Homo-oligomer: A and B are copies of this chain.
Amino acid sequence: MTNEQTILALASLAQSTRLDTFKLLVAHEPDGLAAGEVSKALGVPHNTLSSHLAILSHAGLISSTRYSRSIVYRANLGRLQDVIVYLLKDCCGGRSEICAPLMADLVPCCPPKETADV
């Protein structure tokens, strides 16, 4: 993960239609959603959405597979993780005391083991 790749990913998510798109695709993991269904769900013209999907895709945040006439998009959670790790790396680099409390707050949201009681 380079500085540039991180900026690309952050910029991709820093736009309301795209953030909504990404959230929608995350909510539909692991099945994914066809471009047309995203377009309909968000009330965005298909061509406008198409360019947003291309931007998210170029940033590596989503991927696509064609099934007959539809192209199904899926969120790439691994990429989201890469971005988050990159952002945290700076504060954790040699000084874990700084972001330890940050992590402590994160863990109850997503327990690393399968102690999911949410």
A interface residues with partner B (beta carbon < 8 Å): 3-4, 6-7, 10-11, 13-16, 19-20, 23, 26-27, 29-30, 75, 77-78, 80-81, 84-85, 87-100, 102-107, 109-114, 116, 118
Nearest chain B residue, comparing its CB with the CB of A18: B7
Chain B residues whose CB sits within 8 angstroms of the CB of A29 once the complex forms:
91, 95, 98
A103 to B109 Cα, complex, angstroms: 9
Nearest-neighbour CB distance to chain B for A92, whole angstroms, equals 5
Determine how close the nearest CB of chain B comes to the CB of A60; give it in whole angstroms: 15
- Count identical subunits in the complex: 2
Could you say which residues of chain B place their CB within 8 Å of the CB of A103? Answer: 106-107, 109-112
Q: In the assembled complex, which residues on chain B have CB atoms less than 8 Å from the CB atom of A104?
A: 112
Residue pair A106, B88 in contact (C-beta under 8 Å): yes
Task: Return the contact of A118 from the options B94, B110, B116 (Cβ within 8 A).
Answer: B94
